[in-house]
A and B are shown apart, each in its own frame.
Chain A
């Protein structure tokens, strides 16, 4: 640049002089960047994202799993009872020794069913190019307009296709057929009575720290996202993992439990309540069964669930799509603006497939009651309608946004 007749633009000269330490290309893929991401997204649930993660999403991004993990970690902050007391207080917890007269032992029944799921899972095939899952999700919220409360529900379908062979991509298309509408006919009448607003305000977050969020009524647009990062296709605990890593997971329940507990200790230390660790391990095991793992790993995951302290396994429950399965309940309670909730997985013992991941309202808040939500209502769910191998990548709808 120095003494040329035609002087280049000064900003160009300055740009060329940028010190290398400030070159973003030299600041990519830092360990610090990855560590921070996990920590940041495990922050309390102030966002819709966190609120919407009763099902831990085994995404190729640590982010999403960590979000859900935060939900799990916050479990128990409300309910100070120990697992045993809590079980005793619950009508379904009729463990034989405590109440010998209880009619069908749903808990034992559930355990048998879960182990049956494990046996079925062992037989599932394991080969293909794209591992695909389709889930239907629904979220219930309470809106307030002109002092009147009503419930709205947002529903959508999500198609996720994970390429396991080198050079294949992983794509997630979410918010397919997405709709937000009044939950029941009564809710619809209230919504119409206040003028059928296109946008309504709902509350999200922890009860002590809620945020108002605007929710648009009607249909939404699908979103597409690439979920693989440098050959890593899923997250297991704090790590992003490749297909090869998944294939190397232990196939015994003891081995798998030790592996997951090791991951938990790395992220959380050995401190903390046993129920937090149980919930975390259950969450990870629940994720694993939706991934393309060896059949032995899926079976190990179910066996592990059956023995986790504080986790209740209940036979003959029905998922939101009306399918019968065995329920695996997380320890502890989780407070939301709708009231106290409990999280549970529903598994099909006849196939070993995950049916749904859901949040049940156990004690509705005044606000939720005002909108007609009763104890036992499933307020959030992600139900798997399809899971399996395919040789073809899914098609992305034309109107999908990035």
Chain B
């Protein structure tokens, strides 16, 4: 009885965050499907091993579903992941933003994009999806100590990448800004 109430509460609370995470993995459309599946699994298991589905648990499920999709339906996954890349790469910054903000964003996103996938995953779980290091360790299924080491290294690499991206090298800076304007052929692609 109260588990349905609890589920409803968790659903209202976590849906936007699970969806945001799923979008970062597979884009909006497939992200919605994965979010839906994630909560379906949470609902089925609410009484077995997951009395209180937590955000890290839900993100872990969403992550597994995305991975399973990569194995099972590689083509669909590639299209979805490309859409996610476009979003994560900041290809759709709003025109209303101040130019300097856009520039800073692009430098940061460019720096992020230059990192290995495992670094990107860890850094965005914390910086974008608001997890603590302990929660991120839960999602990535590693120990807190291992995560602390990984995070330390990932931060150093991000710092380095940011410095590189900020180098006043005109030949580098120009294409970086150009990426800020939507590329028509991608914008027009179906989600």
Picked from B4, B44, B94, the residue with its CB within 8 Å of the CB of A67 is B4
Q: Which residue of A lies closest to B4 (CB)?
A: A49
Name the residue among A21, A50, A225 with the largest chain B CB count within 10 angstroms.
Answer: A21
A-chain residues with CB within 8 Å of residue B112 when the two chains form the complex: 14, 17
The SS class assigned to the B binding surface is helix
Name the residue among A19, A37, A52, A67 with the largest chain B CB count within 10 angstroms.
Answer: A19
The answer to whether B5 touches A61 (Cβ under 8 A) is yes
**B137 within 8 Å of A (CB atoms):** no
Q: In the bound complex, what is the Cα–Cα distance between A12 and B123 (angstroms)?
A: 11
A 360-394 to B, binary, CB cutoff 8 A, 1 in contact else 0: 00000000000000000000000000000000000
- Interface extent on A, as a size class? 35 or more
**A18 within 8 Å of B (CB atoms):** yes
Q: In the bound complex, what is the Cα–Cα distance between A40 and B44 (angstroms)?
A: 9
The answer to whether B2 touches A175 (Cβ under 8 A) is yes
A-chain residues with CB within 8 Å of residue B3 when the two chains form the complex: 47-49
**B65 within 8 Å of A (CB atoms):** no
**B108 within 8 Å of A (CB atoms):** yes
A227 to chain B, nearest CB (A): 8
Given contacts A21-B92, A22-B23, A27-B20, contact A52 B8 (CB under 8 A): no
The answer to whether A40 touches B43 (Cβ under 8 A) is yes
**A72 within 8 Å of B (CB atoms):** no
A-chain residues with CB within 8 Å of residue B128 when the two chains form the complex: 14-15, 18, 22
A24 to chain B, nearest CB (A): 4
Interface 9-mer from B9-17, B71-79, B141-149: B9-17
B-chain residues with CB within 8 Å of residue A12 when the two chains form the complex: 127
Given contacts A37-B8, A41-B7, contact A10 B40 (CB under 8 A): no
The answer to whether B8 touches A64 (Cβ under 8 A) is yes
Q: Which residue of B lies closest to A63 (CB)?
A: B8
B191 to chain A, nearest CB (A): 11
Interface 9-mer from A28-36, A120-128, A257-265, A268-276: A28-36
Picked from A13, A24, A48, the residue with its CB within 8 Å of the CB of B47 is A48
The answer to whether B166 touches A2 (Cβ under 8 A) is yes
Q: What are 11 A-B contacts defined by CB distance under 8 Å?
A: A13-B162, A14-B112, A15-B127, A16-B105, A19-B90, A21-B92, A28-B15, A47-B4, A47-B47, A48-B3, A229-B12
Query: Could you list 4 further interchain pairs (A-B, Cβ under 8 angstroms) beyond the known A30-B15, A225-B5?
Result: A15-B127, A15-B128, A49-B2, A211-B48
- Which B residues are within 8 Å of any A CB, using their own CB? 1-5, 7-9, 11-12, 15-17, 19-21, 23-24, 28, 32, 35-36, 39-40, 43-44, 46-48, 87-88, 90, 92-94, 100, 103-105, 107-109, 112, 123-124, 126-129, 155, 158-159, 162, 166
- Which A residues are within 8 Å of any B CB, using their own CB? 1-3, 10-25, 27-28, 30, 32-33, 36-37, 39-41, 43, 46-50, 52-53, 57, 59, 61, 63-64, 67, 137, 172, 174-175, 204, 211, 213, 223, 225, 229
